[in-house]
Structure 1
């Protein structure tokens, strides 16, 4: 009788309550966020149709959809989002679209024009391989890693982010610029090392992380955005913060990239130096006096503060209210959830879990979550792309959505005590 009753109960849960997500523990913000996302991403799929050459990125000032092309850095986030939708819903329609958009990026495996191939290919093909045992996908990621390694210099011991170009404010020339964002591309190299057993990928990733730790991270664990090296000697020529308020200030998304990147690098290496750096950068973020009470950072922690002087055309009257950056918050939440599983400091375990949860709860509120139809396409509102260039200020951004969904899925796994 007990067995019969249990069987009836299971049938009831599956048939009557399909939204229970396999009876896993959950938090209302997870279900509400994915439910809010579905019609928005349906709209994106409808407007893109069979055009797989334009990747949704943000909104233009007139409210129209802003696309970027295959050679731009954000192309992998849209297919990655579709894989996350499939992971949560198990609805095959998301898988079909995710596969289609992922495969549209195939030619990028040979892209050596900049460092962003990790973003482009691992967020798409890397996620795809979690659901599809596809040898071609593995080969594409391996070739992508080889392409990324072509930008590595044994002299500088870093992967060059951008080609030689004029610097911020045209003060000098960036001979060999390396940016904090580049830490995010190392996961592709660690993957390639494991699959091929070729240690050179791992060697390059570790060297790059060590140099970033040494030259981008300040003594207080804040960070510079750009470090410019002499390609002939590896000497640091100068340090700047291109997308921040001032060269000495802390750009919020750059800090988020650092927390995430060093956390991932510690996961892949077990090197305590990377754990210490990830913890220091996370503590700087969470403990900062200017982090708002809702945990969503201003686009720069030091914007407009005494002692920080911008070398771009800053108009204080225009920004009477300093813009926030939901994308930095989403990236940080995802990173903190993983970091909470890696740190051995019990105080930090709780601190990072609570910090991530607080961020997610705010992002799930009507202030940041697009539940009122503020735009037809994107889930999160109020991100900042590049304020000094007057580009993408207080807009939705595709990568904010990507890392928010990733954070929610990591949160759900932790609630269910699954490996994240």
Structure 2
């Protein structure tokens, strides 16, 4: 999403990846973007006019389940619409993106209920401001960043993820890395400079506490509220406290890559490479779409998670642009592209429902959103397609 990133990645790609570009010509990105626009147009026709947005299509159903602006996924649908506006230049998408973004505006002036404000506001108003420079959008982003910062606990060094879910201490989930981009952006665009320090501290604390010796991620870390000491690592949505939950590792790869972009601190780049290495080395599926948890006991009969693949594919394209090792750069780009091709060839929702992708898994331990279509899978799939299009150009 970052403008500087897109400029940099294009330059790096042109310098060293002609052979990759030649192989890449067989995959028609424009065709996939047109598919996404067709599917989104179908979805627009069935959304109730009540301020809700589409979140998921259950397995076996053709019908979306809708959520209001408070749901943690509420920013992904307007984000998709902004990306479609970017892809097509069609004012239809700008109008719809603005409409669904506006539903989220109350979040900027409400008390922070959880860490997901970045997902909600930066994916919607953030993309909107990047594409239109509408000052109203900027105001919403800056107010929301201040709201998110109220969840920061300086004794721990992270923002709490779920303030209302005590879990025996100050809880921080790996997903929270994604929401730091909101803080970084605000600090550089007229917001409080302390937001930058909060984001860096959160990333450093997470780097030091959230990972096992092999660099696989816990889902949740519980800290002591007063001393900041790490109490334990556990899971909520993964198979077990000691397993590598696929989407959690994806959030980590994407998150630390973004933190390097914003700070240029080499320790974050090095860490992003290590997180990526364990993910790619443990990825055994031929199509590079992971099972929902790398340690799930029923593999190969476990559900896949297309959302994790979409997130990692997008992240790998950015990470490749910061990678000086030619072989590693080639590996990242080749595998990223294969993930997108696999999603496009075998995971699209065409003729099943009006989402973009099938076969994502939300919260299997809770029996929720298993092997279904989910809006955040669609969002990062579309983002990955746009990033790939910029590489080809």
Within-5 A mapping of 1:21-420: 28-48=27-47, 50-51=49-50, 53-60=51-58, 63=61, 64-111=63-110, 112-165=112-165, 173-196=167-190, 198-288=192-282, 290-304=283-297, 321-365=301-345, 367-371=346-350, 373-375=351-353, 377-416=354-393
Q: Cα deviations across residues 169-190 of structure 1 (Å, max 9, x unaligned)?
A: xxxx332110000000000001
Structure 1 residue 330: Cα displacement: 0.0
CA–CA distance in structure 1, aligned partners of residues 168 and 361 of structure 2: 24
Q: Cα deviations across residues 138-186 of structure 1 (Å, max 9, x unaligned)?
A: 11100000000000011001000002436xxxxxx33211000000000
- The answer as to whether partners of 1:226 and 1:241 remain within 8 angstroms in 2 is yes
- The answer as to whether partners of 1:291 and 1:298 remain within 8 angstroms in 2 is no
Distance 1:27 1:117, change over 3 A: farther
Structure 1 residue 62: Cα displacement: 6.1
CA–CA distance in structure 2, aligned partners of residues 342 and 355 of structure 1: 16
Identify unmatched segments of 5+ residues in structure 2. 1-23
Runs of 4+ with >4 A deviation: none
Structure 1 residue 407: Cα displacement: 0.5
TM-score by length of 1: 0.85
Distance 1:106 1:164, change over 3 A: closer
Q: Cα deviations across residues 110-142 of structure 1 (Å, max 9, x unaligned)?
A: 340000000000000110012212111111100
CA–CA distance in structure 1, aligned partners of residues 269 and 26 of structure 2: 29
Q: Cα deviations across residues 231-260 of structure 1 (Å, max 9, x unaligned)?
A: 111011111022111111100000000000
Identify unmatched segments of 5+ residues in structure 1. 1-24, 167-172, 305-315
- The answer as to whether partners of 1:27 and 1:412 remain within 8 angstroms in 2 is no
- The answer as to whether partners of 2:287 and 2:339 remain within 8 angstroms in 1 is yes
SS of the residue 1:381 aligns to = coil
Between the two structures, name the one with larger relative contact order (CA 8 Å, sep ≥ 6).
2
Q: Cα deviations across residues 47-81 of structure 1 (Å, max 9, x unaligned)?
A: 11533x21100024662321121111111111110
CA RMSD of superposed structures (Å): 1.6
- The answer as to whether partners of 1:164 and 1:177 remain within 8 angstroms in 2 is no
- The answer as to whether partners of 1:88 and 1:409 remain within 8 angstroms in 2 is yes
Structure 1 residue 369: Cα displacement: 1.2
SS of the residue 1:130 aligns to = helix
CA–CA distance in structure 2, aligned partners of residues 219 and 357 of structure 1: 29
Q: Cα deviations across residues 249-305 of structure 1 (Å, max 9, x unaligned)?
A: 1000000000000000000001111101111111111111x430110000001111x
Structure 1 residue 196: Cα displacement: 1.6
Distance 1:29 1:240, change over 3 A: farther
Structure 1 residue 99: Cα displacement: 1.3
CA–CA distance in structure 1, aligned partners of residues 127 and 247 of structure 2: 23
CA–CA distance in structure 2, aligned partners of residues 77 and 27 of structure 1: 29
Structure 1 residue 26: Cα displacement: 6.4
